[in-house]
Amino acid sequence: MKRKQHRRCLSIAVFGTLLAFTEVASCEDVRPKTVALMTPDERQVMVAQMQVTLDEALSGKQLIEDYPWPIVATVNLSDADNVIVVDLDRRILDYTSLSESEDMGDYIFNRLWPFLERIDGSTGVRFLYGGHEEEYWSGKPGIDAMPRTTSGRKKRNADDRPLVVVAPGHGVYFHRKFKDWRAQREPVNGVLEDDMTTVLSGHLESALLRDGLRVDKLRPGAPTGVHDASEQPWWRLAVRYQLERRFPDLKGVWQSLPTKPVTADKKGLEERDEDIRSRPLYANHVGADALIHIHTNAESPEVNGLRAYVTDRAEDRVLASRILCSAEELLRTNPKFDSFKVAPSPHEHTKKAENNSATMPSVIVEVGFHTNPQDAQFLQDRAFQTLSMRGVAKGYRLYRNKRPCEEFVINPGEEVVGRVGIDVQMPFSFKGNPVYPIRVWSRDKKCTYRGCHNVDKTLSGPSDLEKFKLKYLCKREDLERPPIEVTVGAKDFDGVRAAPATLKVVCKAG
C-alpha cells in the first residue's frame, strides 16, 4: 500500500539564542522519505519542528503524579532504525508506575504522529532515559536478551495446532489508593474501551477458530457470573483477575510485582500494572505462537483509523504488517467503511510492556479511535467489528503460512482460438489469498440474447479451481466479430472481490 503524498513547505531552520526556527513559504508536494535518505537540511528542519511540537505539548502537563520537575524531552532521528528517538529525564523512572509510563508514552507518541507519517517505511518512536533504554537503569534484560518461545512450545506435542493468545485490553481493576473498583478508561462517544475490547476480541476468537487454531481469550465475552469483591460481571474484569481465578497457583504471572501493603502503594496502580504484565507473562508461560492485544485508541476528535504497535523485532513487524493489510482488505468489502483509515505499516512503540515482555510475536492492534465520533460509530457497528477482526485473523494466517499480502486478482490466460461448434477452454488463475468457497461468474460482454454462455459457479476449494473449465462455444455469427470478450469476476467467502478480468476468444471456421 502506498503512503499518501504530503504537501508541506520547505523550511530553513535558523537557530539563535532562543533556538527558534522560521519557515520559508516555498511549498511543494513531497513524498515521505526514510530517515537515511533525508538531506541534512530536511533532517534538521524535522527535528526542530518535532522539538517545538513536543515542548509545547509537555509544557505545564502533569503526566506523572508527584513528579516534582517539568517533563523535558529531547527528540532526534535515527538513521539506523528509521525511528524517532525521544530521550527523557532518567529521574522519571523513580516516580512513574508502569501504567503511567505507558499513558505518557501514548501521549508523546500521538503528538509525534504527523511526523511519523512523513517518514517512509517501517518507523516508530523509541524512548530513552538519560540516553539509555529503561532496562539499562533497572538491570532487567532487554527484549533482545529474553529467551525466545521455543522452550514454551516444546511443552506441546509437535502436531498440536498453533496457539494464539488474544488479550482484550484493559478491564475493571482495584485502585489501591481510593479502594474502589474502576475501569481503566473513560467512556467517550458511547464507547468504553474496557468493554468494547471484549466484544471485538470475541469476533477475533471466532475468526481464528474458523481457521482451525487454538485460541486462549483472556477475558470472557459472555455472562459468567458476578465477581464478589467488585460486584461486577466477570467479563468486565481485567485479565489479572481472570488469571487469578483460572490459575490460583500462577502468582508469578498475575501477581508479578512485589506485594505491598495498600498504604505503601502510594499511587494505587499496582494491580493495574500487574494486569499489563500478566498478559505477556501468561502467553510466555503457555508457549503461545502469537499474542494479539485488542485495544481502541484515544486522541483529539479529528484523529481516526486503525493502527498497530510493535517492538523492534522483525517477526513482530511482519505479523503486524500482514494484519494491517488484511484488515484494510476486509473493511473495503463494505462501502460504508471506505472512509476509515488503516495505517499502511506498523509503528514501533517501546513504551508497551504488553509487547516488550512477550517472547513470541506480539502486536497491539488499536482498532479505531473512540474519541473520534465516526470511528466510535464504526466500533459499535457489528459489520465493522466482524470485518476488522476477520482481517486481523487473516493477517495471522498469512504470517503463519509465510504468505505475502497480495491483492485478490484474476489472471487471464492468453487469447485462445475456437472453432465453430466446438467448445474452447478459456484459462485463468487466481493470485492473492482468497478464502474458499469462491463464487465465480462470467458473461459475454456483447451477448444480449437468451443463448449467452453465462456461468455462475461456486468453487469449494483449490481442487475445484483446477477442475473448473470455463468454456465458450463459437457460433457462425461470431466469425464476423472481433475477438469475443468474456468478463470473469470472483468473490471469496470473506466478501473480497477480484477486479473483473477479460478473457478473449477468436472464432474461426471449423
The predicted pLDDT at position 364 comes to 99
- Whether pLDDT at 365 is above 60: yes
Mean pLDDT of all residues in 181-200: 98
Protein fold of 409-508: Immunoglobulin-like (2.60.40)
- Whether pLDDT at 151 is above 70: no
Type of residue numbered 346: P
The predicted pLDDT at position 35 comes to 96
Those residues with Cβ within 8 angstroms of residue 478's Cβ, 6 or more apart along the chain or in another chain: 420, 484, 507
- Whether pLDDT at 394 is above 90: yes
Mean pLDDT of all residues in 458-469: 91
Average pLDDT, the chain: 89
Separation of alpha carbons 29 and 7, rounded Å: 4
Question: Quick check: do 161-401 and 409-508 share a fold?
Answer: no
The predicted pLDDT at position 147 comes to 39
260 — pLDDT class (breaks 50, 70, 90): low
Mean pLDDT of all residues in 279-304: 97
Mean pLDDT of all residues in 421-442: 95
The predicted pLDDT at position 21 comes to 41
Mean pLDDT of all residues in 422-442: 95
Per domain, the residue ranges of the chain are 35-134, 161-401, 409-508
Mean pLDDT of all residues in 260-289: 88
23 — pLDDT class (breaks 50, 70, 90): very low
Residue 144 buriedness (CB in 10 A; 0-12 / 13-18 / 19+):
exposed
Mean pLDDT of all residues in 348-364: 96
The predicted pLDDT at position 221 comes to 81
- Whether pLDDT at 141 is above 70: no
The predicted pLDDT at position 2 comes to 44
CATH number, domain 161-401: 3.40.630.40
Q: Are the beta carbons of 424 and 408 closer than 8 angstroms?
A: no
Those residues with Cβ within 8 angstroms of residue 342's Cβ, 6 or more apart along the chain or in another chain: 305, 306, 324, 327, 328, 331
The predicted pLDDT at position 143 comes to 42
The predicted pLDDT at position 403 comes to 97
The predicted pLDDT at position 39 comes to 95
Q: How many CB atoms lie within 10 A of CB 103?
A: 17
Closest-CA residue to 462 (of 425, 430, 427): 430
Q: Are the beta carbons of 457 and 439 closer than 8 angstroms?
A: yes
Type of residue numbered 288: A
- Whether pLDDT at 380 is above 50: yes
Mean pLDDT of all residues in 431-439: 96
pTM, rounded to two decimals: 0.87
CATH number, domain 35-134: 3.30.300
452 — pLDDT class (breaks 50, 70, 90): low
The predicted pLDDT at position 25 comes to 37
